[in-house]
Amino acid sequence: MDAMQLVRTAGRSGLLRPLRPDRYINAARALRQHGTTLAGACVSAAALYGRDTAIIDNNGSTTYARLHERTNALAHALSNHGVQEGTTVALLARNQAPFVEASVALSKIGAHILLLNTSMAAAQLRDVCDREQPSLIIFNEEFTELVSELNESIQCVNTFTTSNWASSHTSAPLPAPKRAGRTIILTSGTTGIPKGANRGAPRASTATFGMLEAIPYHRGEPMLIAAPLFHAWGFAHLAIAFALGCPIVLQPNFDPRDTITAIATHRVGILVAVPIMLRRMLDTAGSPTTNNLNTNSLRLVPLSGSAIPAGLAEAFMDQFGEVVYNLYGSTEVGSATVATPNDLRAAPGTAGCPPQGVELRIYDDHDALLEPGGTGRIFVRSALLFDGYTNGDTKAVIDGFMSTGDVGHLDAQGRLFVDGRDDDMIISGGENVYPREVEDLLAKHPEITEAAVVGVDDLDFGQRLCAYVVRTGDSQLSDQDVRAYVRDHLARYKVPRDVVFLDALPRNPTGKVLKRALL
């Protein structure tokens, strides 16, 4: 991206607009002192947009100037309780203002932030804390019993207390830390022990502006972050919202009716979500409680976190307009591709194309580069790659390109299609089957809401396909009907031998299907 294109992108998004020179000077000073950390983004936003609304949640609203003051006060309080530069602090909290305040305050100190999944079981929480060794955990009061089982060496403070600290300590500015703290984001999953992925301060880069070019965010537009803030997708949007001076609308738990109501009430222009949320919103749209709500302010629905089921983007856009931007990436590689509404209409199921500043390659199992059409392992290169896992491991790298852990292919237009995880492939009777192809087909059936396909052991074929299917409410679809439908559209070896009907598929908070729970 050349200099003129950078200027055009910044201008289109509203980053360049007439303001008093002292505001720009103070914002530049903040970024020079704190860098492109969450602290730097908050201090810069206070300088540029001080009187504008920063956060709206179920307890009210606050401005960017007030957020800056409260996070200064909370940072002083945390320092008085032993949190210093390089200290690891865990955060177990819902999408509310205290989560944002704690994250910014810790960034101002230079502490490392460990983001914990709010769906964790007690044993998993203990295992993660034993590995990451936080000295303090900040938690919502609802998790009191859960954190009571942690090692006594971990100090526990609830967000009610931290909110009081933010109201009762000095709001004087803090000296910038010598080194920025890291954000430790856990890889997806609610069973087993997820890995901790180190992410440093986001680097201003061509890849960053490439995302602004691909997804047309705009300054000051209300942004509802429905995706969990403990997940990379939700957390990244705090920095994006700060940079653009957007009012951030937060709800502690996702509810489709509440979300549609919030869009209408706050004139939300940007809904940051994961795919399963769109399905639930579609199921709710048109109900008596939402039918008369005006959602025409909605302009962007950037999605990530899990694969988007076949037909979902088109169905959502038929209801809410051409608003869906599907981002493919991971905690490890950052943003890899973006599918625009035009992409999703022209090539349903695509993950889109790499934005400027991001390169993508498909390699076979022997590390040879594949041409468009060839299915292989997906690798990405950009300035957004992570810094490795906290246990010292990292992802496979070839010529500077990092593995996403997925397999896929490119079409003739350079659009990516993700076929599945590289460890998801089912080998049945010597034939390779990627479950995503069968799942997408099943999702197109008018009597199927969603489906997941896994491989199970088979004495004759090594593995056979088993489909877990959620039928529409009044459907009488049988297992024979499901098999016949697949047989009519795909090769015989891709037909599930087993079909199991469920009321719902097990999912984690980011919407990924927990296939291990199906086996």
Give per-residue pLDDT as tens, 351-372.
Answer: 999 988 899 999 998 999 999 9
Total domain count, the chain: 1
Rounded-to-integer distance, Cα 468 and Cα 470, Å: 7
- Strand bridging mode 462-471 / 498-501: parallel
DSSP code, position 308: P
Q: What is the pLDDT of residue 5?
A: 60
Closest CA to 431 of 407, 455, 447: 455
331 lies in some domain: no
326 lies in some domain: no
Q: To which H or E segment does residue 342 belong?
A: helix 341-346
- Lowest average pLDDT, out of 261-270, 283-292, 354-363, 372-381, goes to 283-292
The arithmetic mean of pLDDT across residues 140-151, rounded, is 92
Q: What is the pLDDT of residue 426?
A: 86
Of residues 23 and 219, more confidence is placed in 219
* Length reported for the chain: 519
Q: Express as a percent the part of the chain with pLDDT over 70.
A: 92
Answer yes or no: is pLDDT of 220 > 60. Answer: yes
Answer yes or no: is pLDDT of 205 > 60. Answer: no
CA angle 30, 31, 37 (to 5 degrees): 110
Asked if 197 contacts 187 with a C-beta cutoff of 8 angstroms, the reply is: yes
Q: What is the pLDDT of residue 271?
A: 98
404 lies in some domain: no
Q: What is the mean pLDDT of the chain?
A: 88
Asked if 439 contacts 427 with a C-beta cutoff of 8 angstroms, the reply is: no
CB neighbours of 480 closer than 8 A, spacing ≥ 6?
A: none
477 lies in some domain: yes
484 lies in some domain: yes
Q: What is the pLDDT of residue 3?
A: 54
489 lies in some domain: yes
Answer yes or no: is pLDDT of 105 > 90. Answer: yes
> What is the tens place of the pLDDT at every residue in 8-65?
666 666 666 666 777 768 777 877 888 889 999 999 999 999 999 999 999 999 999 9
The arithmetic mean of pLDDT across residues 459-481, rounded, is 90
226 lies in some domain: no
- Lowest average pLDDT, out of 149-153, 190-194, 257-261, 373-377, goes to 190-194
Q: What is the pLDDT of residue 213?
A: 82
Rounded-to-integer distance, Cα 59 and Cα 201, Å: 29
Q: What is the pLDDT of residue 207?
A: 56
Rounded-to-integer distance, Cα 505 and Cα 268, Å: 30
Rounded-to-integer distance, Cα 498 and Cα 489, Å: 17
239 lies in some domain: no
What the block records as the tokens of 512 is 């990924």
- This prediction's pTM: 0.85
Q: What is the pLDDT of residue 191?
A: 43
Asked if 378 contacts 418 with a C-beta cutoff of 8 angstroms, the reply is: yes
> What is the tens place of the pLDDT at every residue in 411-437?
999 999 988 877 777 888 777 788 888
Q: Express as a percent the part of the chain with pLDDT over 90.
A: 61
Please report which confidence band the pLDDT of residue 189 belongs to, taking 50, 70 and 90 as the band edges: very low
Mapped onto helix, strand or coil, the DSSP state of residue 248 is strand
Q: What is the pLDDT of residue 181?
A: 93
Rounded-to-integer distance, Cα 362 and Cα 352, Å: 14
The domain in which residue 477 lies consists of 426-517
Please report which confidence band the pLDDT of residue 290 belongs to, taking 50, 70 and 90 as the band edges: confident
Q: What is the pLDDT of residue 300?
A: 97
Rounded-to-integer distance, Cα 232 and Cα 104, Å: 16
CATH code for position 495: 3.30.300.30
